[in-house]
Amino acid sequence: MSNLQPPVPGSAPVQEGCTIMHVDMDAFFVSVELRKRPELRGKMVIVGHPEGRSVVLSASYEARAAGVRSAMPMATAMRMAPAAVVIPPTHGLYQQVSAQVMAVFHSITDTVEQLSVDEAFLDISGSLRRLGTPLEIGALIRRRIAAEVGITASVGIASSKFVAKVASTRCKPDGMLLIEKERTVEYLHTLPVGALWGVGAKTREVLARLGIFTVADVAATPVSSLQKALGTSGAALHALSWGIDPRPVTGEHREKSVGAEETFAEDTVSDEVLTRELLRLSHRVAGRLRESGLSGRTLALKIKYADFSTITRSKALGAGTDSAGQIYAGAVALLQALGRRPQSVRLIGVRMERLDAVDSAPLQFTLDPRDDNSRAAEVVGDAIAARFGSAKIVPARLLKPPPAP
């Protein structure tokens, strides 16, 4: 059912200046799976692996009503919604459907800023003469995605990216909402403070101690007070509370980081298990960097312990790299610098940040010839994988059975 938000009774919405859209698919992974299993529509559905230490990838709105959320441990989700149907993910299919969705967007406008597999900002200012008003274009997008892709989308329309994102969130699922430019502040000031970008649970706690619970409260608070409580983000939060977001929609999306992580089947304290997994993750990250023509200048290590507490450590590199050998060496150094671990490890991850195109960021090489040889072997492995599919070159250590946790 459509959740189209009506204008003020007796008046037509003023659409002038509302040329930015945020389009977001509704429970994307679930929606894609339900195309094959329509009999499950309206039921509690969870996409994820039901066994082991997996997490929820997506949940239907019926399951969300029971408290299930993305990234929640599957065991917790099943306690909350024991009657839910669990569907294992079909990752390749999601990329195919995402490409269909993005093709619809690009047929509407050339200015599409893709945020993830299932959402994007669109600047439709150049499409108005050809396709009609913002609301007409939004309705067209929703019809086409439903007809051509077989899933539903929610569309937020506003004069800025932040407000368009607010609009799409407030009209989910399967809805469309236009927030008039001249009434932006009026609308924002009716919302809870959590509607602002960057306000998560911890920030809400800090603001609550100051008596700030709504966007209007933020707007009425001096910037100096917000900065004292939140640091440099205080000024940005104050600007958003007044609907100020001058960022344009950028047609070319550049990844901000490339990473990979693994949750162990059993918690481990073994250095051998941890470093072996770091080697595998480093090769995965390096492969993705080379595939995208990118290199990273900052390396980050993520550790999640048995009690779900998480720490991250990072280090700046002398120059950009896409070498698994260098990423692995840096990750192991960060791991060793942590010293004695307070408890067993549940998850470990590697991420490369401060990305640049390879041709604009010289790769880091050292005087040790083994570094060049290592990267050369990785490039050869890329070529083999590209030609023969799953065939690839990996370190011999990864061919051995993993050691016990």
**Residues forming the annotated binding site for Mg(2+)?**
24, 118
Q: Which residues are annotated as a binding site?
A: 24, 118
Report the distance separating Cα 274 and Cα 341, nearest Å. 12
How many Cα atoms within 13 Å fall on the side-chain side of residue 244? 8
Question: Which residues have a catalytic role annotated?
Answer: 119
Query: Do 121 and 115 touch, CB atoms closer than 8 A?
Result: yes
Q: Please report where in the chains the tokens 């002398």 appear, as a residue.
A: 318
Report the distance separating Cα 135 and Cα 348, nearest Å. 45
Report the distance separating Cα 275 and Cα 118, nearest Å. 34
Q: Is 276 exposed, middle or buried (0-12, 13-18, 19+ CB in 10 A)?
A: middle
**3-state class (DSSP) for residue 5:** coil
Report the distance separating Cα 154 and Cα 171, nearest Å. 7
Hey, how many other C-beta atoms are within 10 angstroms of the C-beta on 251? 15
Q: Please report where in the chains the tokens 């901000």 appear, as a residue.
A: 256
